[in-house]
Structure 1
Amino acid sequence: MRTRHLLMLLSLLALVVGGCSTAGATNPTGAGVQPTADVLSGLAEDEAIAALLPADVRAAGVVKFGSSVGGQPPSSYYAEDNKTVLGQDVDLAEAVGRLLGVRIDREVAAFEVILPALGSGKYQVGTGNFGVTEARKKTIDFVTYINDGQGFAVRADDTRLTKVENLLQLCGLKVGTGAGTTFEATLEKEKHICPDAGKPAYEVLGFAENAAVYLGLQQRHIDVVMSTINGLRHAAANQPNLKFLNEFKRLDVGFAFQKGSPLAPAFRAAVDKLIQDGTYLRILEKWGTKDSAIPESLISPPEHA
């Protein structure tokens, strides 16, 4: 069933964006972001923070990133040239790189493959709005840089849901979300609650592309979307017939590393410096996410209850 829906939605997506650039289809900037604002001028290497890097990394002068790129702000998305990656994750990574005196070598990869690739050594750092969870912390270390989390959205003309406070409210509905995300994991883990309560189970439809999720919602093949709080708020402010319902659960978000990576302390110190000197807030204001600011960076803090 899930495969059939996936193929159907991908076909619909191809029809919608056929003959158009990817940027035109999936990269609305819209209200709440200032993608051309220069918020990194004046940032230079901080010798004390750079000294926290392993000697081999400092000598190489480069850190290999695996980055998931979504279809819209604020986290990450493609510019109109369909090559340049923009967004909050990009600015924060670049700011950290400047303080550490290293170049960010970014490879775009699918969200679900980045964390396993950290373990294999393919990447040294992962970005993609990765939420800090106890399950992920078994193999991954995080250096936090924002507080985002899980939320829900529906079509503005759909009155069946006004707020999702319990997943039992989703019984009998089709829920669209990102493949390999905490949203998908949460939904799959709790999927039993509807049959346990004598109600029809909800169906989880996971997709690699945000555009396919939103298209499926508007085409009524999906009833509700579960995604990032900041991403859904931006989408609801810029897409017709889309309504953000509510926050469901907050999660710290961070740079991801192989467990025990010696890079983590240096990245934490760099994020803290950005918070202290005001650069951090300027980046968040640029992308309309200042309500998700954190007071300090932490390495693999406990998951929010």
Structure 2
Amino acid sequence: MTVRTRQRGLGTRGLVALTALLALVVSGCGGPADADPPAGIEPGKDVLSALAKDDAIAALLPAEVRDAGVVRFASSVGGTPPSAYYADDNRTILGQDIDIAEGVAKVLGIRIEREVAGFEVILPALTSGKYDVGTGNFGVTEARKQTIDFVTYINDGQGFAVRADDDRLGRVDSLVQLCGLKIGTGAGTTFEATLEKEKHVCPDAGKPPYEVLSFSENAAVFLGLQQRHIDVVMSTINGLRYAADNQPNLEFLGEFKRLDVGFAFRKGSPLAPAFRAAVDKLIATGAYQAILAKWGTTDSAIPRSEISPPEHD
């Protein structure tokens, strides 16, 4: 497991300690098979078996894809639900992203050939043609749309969390509130991009700058927070809500910015119209709503799928 930092603020000794502790946590992350599921989700619930191929929607696929019956997926798998995570056997991948993708595959009559990949490498790999589709709770932004097309399937976005015993922050409505703090986030994410782009706000306000610590593994961010190497975490709204309900000493500070989330494709991919129609089919049949209820994310439902809509203000 790789821990990647973008700043020196953690310190060599702190990074070594954090990495060692992370290894212990990850090596022991598998629980007993009959353990109770975490609060807010029903990972064993069947929400896909009633779905069947829709020939009219499948006809939207390129002929070579219909003939092969396979689409190559690259998926980022994080440490916790609801998006995509490993089950107790440390092999099976579960989560909202997985169920929606499998539902789309059923509607299209195709098989997913999935490879787990680092979040920050998936979008470049799509543009190079290594994969056909990427999943990883990818938010739709104007910058990403320069090289990537998206087919939306949920509305999530950006939020913050802190240790519950740290009362320095309330709800975050402006990044100026973070001046002088160490912020942990995922490498290659919209969170990292937002924080780096807006770094000027603290000096502009005559305040000490905040420091961005970027990690390749989601588990490392939360571990760094609890070990006090980090003051605040910036991550997905749904992920932080879930984490606050299931991790000790963690408080979700609320939504900062909403973003549509979608399947990622190289620009101009002929797969996008078929995937959009398949997501809309899931919505029309009620399977979509059942998937979101299973993962506790019904507040993030969208009324219909879109291809690369404008970024939310």
Q: TM-score range by the shorter chain?
A: over 0.9
Shift of residue 5 of structure 1?
A: 2.2
2:251 aligned residue:
243
1:35 to 16, 33, 43: 43
1:12 aligns with 2:14: no
What amino acid is aligned across from residue 291 of structure 2 in structure 1? I
What amino acid is aligned across from residue 28 of structure 2 in structure 1? S
2:30 aligned residue:
23
After the TM superposition, list the runs of 4 or more consecutive aligned residues in structure 1 that deviate by more than 2 angstroms: 3-24
Map 1:269-280 → 2, pairs under 5 A: 269-280=277-288
1:126 aligns with 2:126: no
2:103 to 95, 99, 105: 95
Map 1:262-301 → 2, pairs under 5 A: 262-301=270-309
2:210 to 188, 202, 206: 202
Judge conservation of contact 2:158–2:234 (CA < 8 Å) in 1: yes
1:193 aligns with 2:201: yes
3-state DSSP of counterpart to 1:18: helix
Q: Deviation per CA, 1:7-56: give whole Å up to 9, x if none.
A: 634642433542843435xx995100000000001211110000000000
1:219 aligned residue:
227
TM-score by length of 2: 0.94
What amino acid is aligned across from residue 133 of structure 1 in structure 2? T
Judge conservation of contact 1:145–1:271 (CA < 8 Å) in 2: yes
Judge conservation of contact 1:28–1:73 (CA < 8 Å) in 2: no
3-state DSSP of counterpart to 2:30: helix
Judge conservation of contact 2:9–2:211 (CA < 8 Å) in 1: no
Q: Counterparts of 2:17 and 2:92 in 1: how far apart (Å)?
A: 26
What amino acid is aligned across from residue 120 of structure 1 in structure 2? S
Judge conservation of contact 2:22–2:220 (CA < 8 Å) in 1: no
1:75 aligns with 2:80: no
3-state DSSP of counterpart to 1:113: helix
Judge conservation of contact 2:196–2:212 (CA < 8 Å) in 1: yes
Shift of residue 6 of structure 1?
A: 7.5
3-state DSSP of counterpart to 1:133: coil
Identity percentage over the alignment?
74
TM-score by length of 1: 0.96
3-state DSSP of counterpart to 1:234: helix
Judge conservation of contact 2:76–2:136 (CA < 8 Å) in 1: yes
Aligned length: 303
3-state DSSP of counterpart to 1:89: helix
Map 1:38-77 → 2, pairs under 5 A: 38-77=46-85
3-state DSSP of counterpart to 2:134: strand
1:183 to 176, 188, 191: 191
Shift of residue 210 of structure 1?
A: 1.2
3-state DSSP of counterpart to 2:10: helix
Distance 1:28 1:175, change over 3 A: farther
Q: Deviation per CA, 1:256-278: give whole Å up to 9, x if none.
A: 00000000000000000000000
Flag structure 2 segments of 5+ consecutive residues without an equivalent.
1-5
Q: Deviation per CA, 1:64-110: give whole Å up to 9, x if none.
A: 00100000000000011111110000000000001101000010000
3-state DSSP of counterpart to 2:123: helix
Shift of residue 198 of structure 1?
A: 1.2
